[in-house]
Amino acid sequence: MATEKQIAANRANAKRSTGPRTLAGKLKSSRNAYRHGLSSPPRLDTVMSAETEVIVRALIHGDENEEKMRAAAEFAAAHLELLRIRSMRADAMAKVDLARPDIDELQRLAALDRYERYAHTRRRRTAVKL
């Protein structure tokens, strides 16, 4: 059980850790997820829809089971997302100057790992349903 001293310290830390307080700070932090667009679902366009359809048809082999079709569509979406992330990584790697690496560029590259792992996990878990 926590002591009174620990509880007081926790409360003091919580008061300091409330996030940005100024309007500028709140605006900046609200845009963090939009830096590269990977946190939002990709826009559905005709090319992506056609690619998804091709993958779904290849996976279901004529089996029109609704559950299997849903799993195949989810697999296709995760796979295309994985390809999009890897393409973004390749573009970012091409811009990095290895002679003088910029810390910000390297941190942005490292941030792509989380999105790639998430898409890979979604694809792997959906593959089990197929």
**Is residue 46 predicted with pLDDT exceeding 90?**
no
If residue 92 lies in a helix (H) or strand (E), which one and from where to where?
Answer: helix 66-95
Tens digit of pLDDT for each residue in 89-102?
A: 999 889 888 888 88
Give the angle subtended at the CA of 49 by the CAs of 93 and 73, to the nearest 5°: 90
Domain layout of the chain by residue ranges: 42-130
Closest CA to 48 of 73, 74, 80, 88: 80
Q: How high is the pLDDT of residue 118?
A: 92
Q: How high is the pLDDT of residue 122?
A: 94
**Is residue 35 predicted with pLDDT exceeding 70?**
no
Mean per-residue pLDDT for 2-28? 88
Contact 42, 80 (CB under 8 A): yes
Q: What one-letter code names the amino acid at 82?
A: L
Q: What SS3 class is residue 98?
A: coil
Its pTM stands at: 0.67
Q: What is the DSSP letter of 34?
A: G
Chain centroid to CA 126: how far?
Answer: 17
Percentage of the chain beyond pLDDT 90 is 32
**Is residue 125 predicted with pLDDT exceeding 90?**
yes
Least confident of 15-19, 90-94, 102-106: 15-19
32 compared with 107, residue with greater pLDDT = 107
